[in-house]
C-alpha cells in the first residue's frame, strides 16, 4: 500500500533525525552529571562532521572517518576541559568559545570539499523484517549509527545507576567538595566525562556528514548542538527521558518538512523554526512543572581544591 | 619541646608536630602540636577562628602544612590527599557534612569506602554498625530527606565502616538536640573502649569536661595548653580559650512591657518541598520591651520563618503578620522597614551584606528607604558616610583601611556592623536570626548586651538562635521550633534546658512541667 510505504519512510527518517540529537545530548548529559556545563556541543559536533567527512572522503573508509570524527570531538572537548576544569575559567564563556572555535575550524577543514558527496553509511537489511510494513524500515532498516546510539544510551543508563564509577560521577556532580574530601579525583573524573561528551558530539557529527546527509556544507549542524543541550535539561538529566526527548524533536523536525510539502500556505520559514520553537516551549513547560529539579547541584561551578 | 611532655609519649597514634599554615598574611596555625592516643577522647578547644578546622584539615590531607610534620605511630608521614589519610585509618566527620543530598544513605556510604561492594551487602553492614553503636540510620533513604542529626549519623557510620583507628569529629554537637548529643557521647565511649582514638572538636566546655580525657586549647592559631579537662572548671577552660574573663550579659531589671510590635497569627507557608521549608500555623507575639527567643535545631523552618517575617517570602494570608498594629503580610521588606522593623538574617556575607561592596555602600542596603540618606533618588554621600562612621564607632567595628569591602571583615566585626546598621535606624522591632553564630565571645557578649539595652528602651526583639545557652542567658521568653511548628513561648524562669531540649526533639511543649509523648 502506498500510504503504509509513506508512513514507513517518515518513521524511518524520524529515527535518523533523532539519532544525531540523541548521540550529542547523551554525551552532554554525562558531562553535566559530573558537574560541567559544556556549551561547546555545537562546535564539537561540526568539527566531528568536518573531520569525519574529510577523512572518509580521502580514505574511502566510513569507519576510519567515524573514528577520526570521534577523536576530533574529543580533542576539542579537551581544550574546553583544560580551560574550564583545570584553569577554572567561567564554563559558559569557555563553552561558547569552544563552539565558535569549532565552527571556524570546521569551515577551514571542509573548505575544499564543498559540493562533494559521499556514499553514505549503508542501511541494515534483514530479509523479511526490514520489509515489514510501516515499522519495518524504522526498526530494521537503519544504519549502524542508529543502533550504536541506542546501545550507548543503554550503557550510559546502566553505568550511571548501577556501577561504582557511575555513582562516583554523580557524586562529583552533586557536591564536588564532599567528593574531594572523600578522596575522589574530582577534576580527573570531570575531564573524562567532558571527553566522553566530546566523543559523543564527534560521533553525532559523523552521523550527520557520513550517514544522514552525506555531503559537506559549512553550517550543516544548523543548531542541533544547541537543541541537544536543551534536551539534557528537558530530560531532567535522566537518560530514558533523553531518548523520549530526542525522538520527539526528531519527529517535529521531520513532520514540519512534510507539512511544507503539503503546501498548506504556512510560510516555510515558520515551519523550519518549529523544532527551535518546540525547544523553547518544552523548556518553559518543564520549568513550570519544576521537573528540572534533577539538575546536579554542582553543575557549572568550577572546582578549585584548597592547598 | 616546652609545651608539655605529652607530644613525646610513645603511644601517640597520630601526632601533629609544630604545624604551621598561612593563608596570605593570616597565620591560621602557628607551630601547633597535638597528639592523639588510642583509647582516648581528645578535645580540641578553641573559639571560631582559633585554627581548629585548619589543623584538622592538615591532619587528614585536605590541606598541606607550610612547615612542621605529622607522625603516625611515631614515624613521619605525609598525606598528600584525603584518600591517603583514610587508607591509614583516619576518618573525619566534618562540621559541614560531606554528604550528597540527592543520593541514598547506602550510596553515600559506598562513596566513602574504597573498592566496589554490592549495595545490598553494604546495606547489611550498615545495619550491623547501626545496631552495634546505637546509631539510627535507614540505608535506603535519600540523604536530602534526613534531619541534621540523622545526617551526622550517616557520616559516622560511613567512617566506622572504614574501620578507622582515629575518628575526628568536627563540632559534632553544634547541630544536635541535647538528647541526640547524649546518644553521640555513648557512641564515642563505645569507640574509645574498643581502642580507637577520638578527636572531639568543640567549644562547648561542659561536654568536653564530661567526655574527654585530654584537651588541647588553641587561640588565635597558637597552641595555648594541653590540660586534663576533668581537672578544670568551665570558667578556667573559657579563660584559656578566650584569653580573658568572658563577660556575661547583664540582666536588666524588669521593666513594663508595652504594645505588641510583632504579631504572627496562624502564619503558614507551603514550602518548596525541601526539608524544613514549610511553616504550620505559627502564632507568636512580641511586645515592646521584651526579647523573645526561638530555639530549635537548624533546618526546622527557622529560615522560612525569618524570610516570612522580613517579607522575602510571600505569605498567602496577609492578615497573618502584623507589625506595629499594621497588617503587613502583603508588604515587601522595604515597606516593613518603613513601619519601623529591622531585620538581620543569619548569613551575614551574601544576605545581610554584599561581599564585594564597600561597608559604606552596604549601609544603604537597609537604609535607602528611610528618607534622609537617599533623597529624590540621589545618594547623599556625606550623610551616608556619617551614618557609616556612627555604626563603626558605636559598635566597635574593627577593620583595616578606611572603607573596606564587606568580605574583608572578620565574622564578628561584620556581625557587629550589620546589627549596628539596623539598631541605628531606631527600629521598634528587631528580628535577628543567629545573632552570634561564629562570632568570638567578646563580640557575642557585646551583641547580646546591645539587644538587651534596645529592649529596655522599648524595642521588641525576636531572636532566632540554635544556641540554647544564649537564649537562656538573655531572652525573656522562649519558644521552640520543630518541623515547622512553634510552641507557645514560655518565660525563661519557668522552663528548663531539659524541657526545651525535649521540645527541640519534637515533643510540643516547652513548659517546665510539660508532659512529653514517647
ipTM of the complex: 0.81
d(CA A28, CA A34): 10
Cα of A181 to nearest chain B Cα, Å? 6
Chain A residues touching residue B62 (CB < 8 angstroms): 180-181, 306
Comparing A160 with B116, the larger pLDDT belongs to A160
C-alpha cell at B306: 525569618
For A59-99, the three-class secondary structure string (H helix, E strand, C coil) is HCCHHHHHHHHHHHHHHHHHHHHHHHHHCCCCHHHHHHHHH
Cα of B201 to nearest chain A Cα, Å? 18
CB contact at 8 A, B431 and B409? no
Cα of B169 to nearest chain A Cα, Å? 14
d(CA B31, CA B38): 23
d(CA B512, CA B499): 6
CB contact at 8 A, A104 and A119? no
H/E stretch holding B167 reads strand B166-170
Is residue A291 less than 8 Å (CB to CB) from chain B? no
CATH no. for B260-504: 3.40.50.300
If phi > 0 it is left, if psi is from -120 to 50 it is alpha, else beta; for residue B467 that is beta
Mutation site, A159, A170, A174, interface B, largest B CB count within 10 A: A174
Chain B residues touching residue A184 (CB < 8 angstroms): 83, 111
d(CA A34, CA A195): 12
What Å distances lie between residue A263 and A2, A49, A255, CA to CA? Answer: 20, 32, 13
- A179 and B111: CB-CB below 8 Å? yes
- Residue A148: name the closest of A47, A14, A20, A28 by CA: A20
- Residue A42: name the closest of A9, A4, A5, A80 by CA: A80
Of the candidates B83, B92, B111, which has its C-beta nearest A167's C-beta? B111
Of the candidates A168, A174, A307, which has its C-beta nearest B64's C-beta? A307
CB contact at 8 A, A137 and A8? yes
Comparing A159 with B4, the larger pLDDT belongs to A159
- pLDDT for B153 equals 87
CB contact at 8 A, B263 and B465? no
- Residue B484: name the closest of B332, B343, B282, B338 by CA: B282
d(CA A260, CA A250): 16
- pLDDT for B275 equals 59
Measured over the CA atoms of residue B141, residue B147, residue B151 and residue B153, the dihedral's sign is: negative
H/E stretch holding B293 reads strand B291-295
* Helix/strand/coil percentages in chain B, nearest 5: 35, 25, 40
d(CA A194, CA B48): 39
CB contact at 8 A, A231 and A25? yes
CB contact at 8 A, B79 and B61? yes
d(CA B388, CA B417): 9
d(CA B340, CA B371): 13
Cα of A182 to nearest chain B Cα, Å? 6
**Number of helical H runs and strand E runs in chain A:** 13, 0
d(CA A73, CA B93): 41
d(CA B516, CA B451): 33
For A290, the closest chain B residue by CA position comes to B272
Model confidence pLDDT, tens digit, residues B154-204: 988 998 898 899 999 988 887 777 778 888 899 999 999 999 999 999 877
Chain B residues touching residue A179 (CB < 8 angstroms): 100, 111
- Residue B238: name the closest of B224, B252, B249 by CA: B224
Confidence of residue B445 (pLDDT cuts 50, 70, 90): confident
For A175-202, the three-class secondary structure string (H helix, E strand, C coil) is CHHHHHHCCCCHHHHHHHHHHHHHHHHH
d(CA A212, CA B135): 58
Is residue A184 less than 8 Å (CB to CB) from chain B? yes
- Residue B434: name the closest of B422, B420, B446, B448 by CA: B448
- pLDDT for B23 equals 84
Q: What is the mean pLDDT of chain B?
A: 87
Query: Helices (DSSP H) in A111-221: which residue ranges?
Result: 135-140, 144-162, 164-174, 176-181, 186-207
- pLDDT for B3 equals 42
pTM exceeds 0.95: no
For B65, the closest chain A residue by CA position comes to A307
Domain with residues A2-294, CATH architecture: Orthogonal Bundle (1.10)
Confidence of residue B246 (pLDDT cuts 50, 70, 90): low
Determine which of A18-27, B120-129, B498-507 has the lowest per-residue pLDDT on average.
B498-507
A274 C-beta neighbours (distance < 10 Å), count: 18
Of the candidates B63, B81, B102, which has its C-beta nearest A297's C-beta? B102
C-alpha cell at B190: 563505645
Is residue A289 less than 8 Å (CB to CB) from chain B? no
CB contact at 8 A, B459 and B430? yes
Listed by start position, the domains of chain A span: 2-294
For B82, the closest chain A residue by CA position comes to A183
d(CA B46, CA B203): 6
CB contact at 8 A, B474 and B462? no
Chain A residues touching residue B98 (CB < 8 angstroms): 175, 177-178, 181-182
- B103 and A174: CB-CB below 8 Å? yes
- pLDDT for B253 equals 60
Measured over the CA atoms of residue B248, residue B253, residue B254 and residue B259, the dihedral's sign is: negative
Model confidence pLDDT, tens digit, residues B257-270: 889 999 999 999 98
C-alpha cell at A1: 500500500
- pLDDT for B507 equals 57
H/E stretch holding A284 reads helix A274-288
Comparing B292 with B177, the larger pLDDT belongs to B292
> Phi and psi at residue B198, in whole multiples of 5°?
-125, 130
d(CA B380, CA B361): 11
Same fold for the domain at B6-242 and the one at B260-504?
A: yes
Mutation site, A32, A159, A166, A171, interface B, largest B CB count within 10 A: A171
- pLDDT for B349 equals 85
- pLDDT for B182 equals 87
Cα of B99 to nearest chain A Cα, Å? 6
What Å distances lie between residue A142 and A124, A128, A205, B139, CA to CA? Answer: 5, 15, 17, 45
Model confidence pLDDT, tens digit, residues A184-201: 999 999 999 999 999 999
- Residue B225: name the closest of B33, B374, B399 by CA: B33
* B26-50: burial string, b at 16+ Cβ within 10 Å, e else: ebbbbebbbbbbbebbbbbbbbbbb
Q: Considering chain B, what percentage of its residues have pLDDT values greater than 70? A: 92
Model confidence pLDDT, tens digit, residues B376-430: 889 999 999 999 999 999 998 888 888 999 988 877 889 999 999 999 999 999 9
Confidence of residue B274 (pLDDT cuts 50, 70, 90): low
C-alpha cell at B275: 526539608
Measured over the CA atoms of residue A232, residue A238, residue A240 and residue A241, the dihedral's sign is: negative
B248, pLDDT greater than 60: yes
Which ranges of chain A have pLDDT less than 50?
Answer: 1, 291-292
- Residue B59: name the closest of B41, B77, B38, B40 by CA: B77
C-alpha cell at A300: 557549572
Cα of A236 to nearest chain B Cα, Å? 13
Domain with residues B6-242, CATH architecture: 3-Layer(aba) Sandwich (3.40)
3-class secondary-structure state, position B104: strand
Q: Locate the DSSP E strands across B228-290.
A: 260-269, 279-287
What Å distances lie between residue A41 and A98, A105, A199, B21, CA to CA? Answer: 8, 14, 10, 42
C-alpha cell at B164: 578507622
H/E stretch holding B210 reads helix B205-211
Give the residue numbers in B contacting A (CB under 8 Å), as ranges: 57, 62-64, 81-84, 86, 92, 94, 97-103, 107, 110-112, 116
Cα of B238 to nearest chain A Cα, Å? 31
Which residues does residue B93 pair with via DSSP β-bridges, in sequence order?
B169
- pLDDT for B6 equals 44
Cα of B107 to nearest chain A Cα, Å? 7
- A170 and B103: CB-CB below 8 Å? yes
- Owner of C-alpha cell 560541567: A36
CB contact at 8 A, B229 and B215? yes
Of the candidates A182, A297, A307, which has its C-beta nearest B82's C-beta? A182
- A181 and B82: CB-CB below 8 Å? yes
- Owner of C-alpha cell 597552641: B223
Comparing B494 with A98, the larger pLDDT belongs to A98
- A174 and B64: CB-CB below 8 Å? no
Residue B336 makes CB contacts below 8 A (sequence gap 6+) with B310, B311, B323, B328, B343
3-class secondary-structure state, position B271: coil
Amino acid at each position: 500500500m502506498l500510504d503504509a510505504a509513506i508512513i514507513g519512510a517518515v518513521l524511518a527518517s524520524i529515527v535518523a533525525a533523532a539519532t544525531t540529537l540523541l548521540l550529542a545530548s547523551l554525551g552532554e548529559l554525562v558531562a553535566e552529571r559530573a558537574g560541567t556545563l559544556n556549551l561547546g556541543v555545537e562546535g564539537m559536533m561540526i568539527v566531528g562532521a568536518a573531520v569525519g567527512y574529510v577523512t572518509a572522503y580521502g580514505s574511502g573508509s566510513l569507519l576510519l572517518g567515524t573514528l577520526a570524527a570521534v577523536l576530533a570531538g574529543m580533542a576539542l572537548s579537551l581544550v574546553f576541559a583544560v580551560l574550564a576544569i583545570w584553569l577554572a575559567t567561567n564554563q559558559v564563556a569557555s563553552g561558547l568559545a569552544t563552539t565558535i572555535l569549532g565552527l571556524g575550524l570546521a569551515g577551514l577543514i571542509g573548505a575544499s570539499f564543498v559540493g562533494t558527496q559521499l556514499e553514505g553509511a549503508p542501511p541494515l537489511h534483514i530479509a523479511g523484517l526490514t520489509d515489514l510494513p510501516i515499522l519495518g524500515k524504522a526498526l530494521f532498516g537503519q544504519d549502524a549509527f542508529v543502533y550504536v546510539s541506542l546501545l550507548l544510551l543503554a550503557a550510559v543508563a546502566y553505568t550511571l545507576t548501577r556501577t561504582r564509577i557511575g555513582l562516583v560521577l554523580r557524586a562529583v556532580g552533586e557536591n564536588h567538595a564532599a567528593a574531594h574530601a572523600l578522596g575522589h579525583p574530582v577534576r580527573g573524573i570531570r575531564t573524562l566525562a567532558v571527553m566522553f561528551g566530546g566523543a559523543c558530539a564527534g560521533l553525532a557529527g559523523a552521523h550527520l556528514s557520513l550517514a544522514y546527509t552525506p555531503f559537506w556544507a559549512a553550517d550543516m549542524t544548523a543548531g542541533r548542538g544547541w537543541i541537544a543541550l536543551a534536551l539534557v535539561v528537558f530530560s531532567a538529566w535522566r537518560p530514558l527521558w533523553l531518548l523520549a526527548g530526542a525522538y520527539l524533536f526528531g519527529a517535529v523536525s521531520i513532520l514540519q518538512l512534510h507539512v511544507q510539502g503539503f503546501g498548506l500556505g504556512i510560510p516555510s520559514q515558520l515551519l523550519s523554526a518549529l523544532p527551535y520553537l518546540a525547544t523553547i516551549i518544552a523548556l518553559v513547560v518543564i520549568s513550570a512543572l519544576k521537573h528540572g529539579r534533577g539538575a546536579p547541584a554542582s553543575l557549572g561551578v568550577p572546582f578549585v581544591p584548597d592547598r | 619541646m616546652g609545651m608539655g611532655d605529652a607530644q613525646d609519649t610513645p603511644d601517640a597514634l597520630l601526632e601533629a608536630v609544630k604545624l604551621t599554615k598561612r593563608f596570605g598574611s593570616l597565620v591560621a596555625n602557628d607551630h601547633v602540636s597535638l597528639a592523639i592516643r588510642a583509647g582516648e577522647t581528645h578535645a580540641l578547644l578553641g573559639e571560631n577562628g582559633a585554627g581548629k578546622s585548619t589543623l584538622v584539615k592538615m591532619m587528614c590531607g585536605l590541606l598541606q602544612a607550610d612547615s612542621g610534620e605529622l607522625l603516625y605511630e611515631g614515624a613521619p608521614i605525609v598525606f598528600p590527599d584525603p584518600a591517603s589519610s583514610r587508607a591509614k585509618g583516619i576518618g573525619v566527620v566534618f562540621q559541614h557534612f560531606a554528604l550528597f543530598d540527592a543520593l541514598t544513605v547506602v550510596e553515600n556510604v559506598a562513596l566513602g569506602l574504597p573498592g566496589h561492594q554490592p549495595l545490598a551487602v553494604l546495606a547489611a553492614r550498615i545495619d550491623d554498625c547501626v545496631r552495634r553503636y546505637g546509631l539510627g540510620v535507614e540505608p535506603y533513604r535519600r540523604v536530602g530527606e534526613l534531619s541534621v542529626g540523622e545526617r551526622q549519623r550517616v557520616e559516622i557510620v560511613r567512617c566506622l565502616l572504614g574501620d578507622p583507628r582515629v575518628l575526628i569529629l568536627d563540632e559534632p554537637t553544634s547541630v544536635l538536640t541535647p538528647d541526640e548529643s547524649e546518644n553521640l557521647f555513648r557512641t564515642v565511649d563505645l569507640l574509645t573502649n574498643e581502642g580507637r582514638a577520638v578527636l572531639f572538636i568543640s567549644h562547648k566546655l561542659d561536654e568536653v569536661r564530661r567526655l574527654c580525657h585530654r584537651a588541647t586549647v588553641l587561640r588565635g592559631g597558637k597552641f595555648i595548653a594541653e590540660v586534663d579537662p576533668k581537672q578544670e572548671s568551665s570558667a578556667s577552660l573559657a579563660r584559656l580559650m578566650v584569653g580573658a574573663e568572658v563577660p556575661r550579659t547583664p540582666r536588666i531589671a524588669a521593666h513594663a512591657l508595652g504594645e505588641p510590635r510583632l504579631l504572627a497569627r496562624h502564619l503558614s507557608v507551603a514550602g518548596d518541598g525541601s526539608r524544613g521549608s514549610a511553616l504550620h500555623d505559627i502564632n507568636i507575639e512580641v511586645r515592646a520591651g521584651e526579647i523573645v527567643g526561638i530555639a530549635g535545631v537548624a533546618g526546622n523552618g527557622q529560615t522560612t520563618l525569618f524570610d516570612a517575617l522580613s517579607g522575602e517570602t510571600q505569605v498567602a494570608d496577609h492578615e497573618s503578620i502584623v507589625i506595629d498594629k499594621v497588617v503587613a503580610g502583603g508588604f515587601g521588606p522595604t515597606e516593613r522597614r518603613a513601619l519601623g522593623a529591622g531585620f538581620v538574617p543569619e548569613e551575614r556575607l551574601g544576605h545581610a551584606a554584599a561581599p564585594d561592596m564597600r561597608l559604606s555602600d552596604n549601609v544603604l542596603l537597609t537604609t535607602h528607604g528611610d528618607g534622609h540618606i537617599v533623597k529624590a533618588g540621589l545618594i547623599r554621600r556625606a550623610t551616608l558616610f556619617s551614618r557609616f562612621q556612627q555604626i563603626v564607632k558605636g559598635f566597635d567595628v574593627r577593620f583595616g583601611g578606611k572603607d573596606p569591602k564587606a568580605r574583608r571583615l572578620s565574622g564578628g566585626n561584620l556581625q557587629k556592623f550589620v546589627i549596628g546598621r539596623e539598631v541605628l535606624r531606631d527600629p521598634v522591632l528587631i528580628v535577628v536570626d543567629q545573632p552570634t553564630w561564629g562570632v568570638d565571645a567578646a563580640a557575642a557578649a557585646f551583641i547580646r548586651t546591645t539587644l538587651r539595652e534596645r529592649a529596655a528602651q522599648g524595642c521588641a526583639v525576636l531572636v532566632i538562635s540554635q544556641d540554647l545557652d544564649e537564649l537562656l542567658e538573655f531572652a525573656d521568653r522562649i519558644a521552640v521550633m520543630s518541623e515547622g511548628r512553634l510552641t507557645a513561648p514560655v518565660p525563661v524562669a519557668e522552663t528548663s534546658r531539659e524541657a526545651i531540649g525535649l521540645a527541640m526533639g519534637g515533643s510540643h511543649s516547652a513548659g517546665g512541667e510539660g508532659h512529653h509523648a514517647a
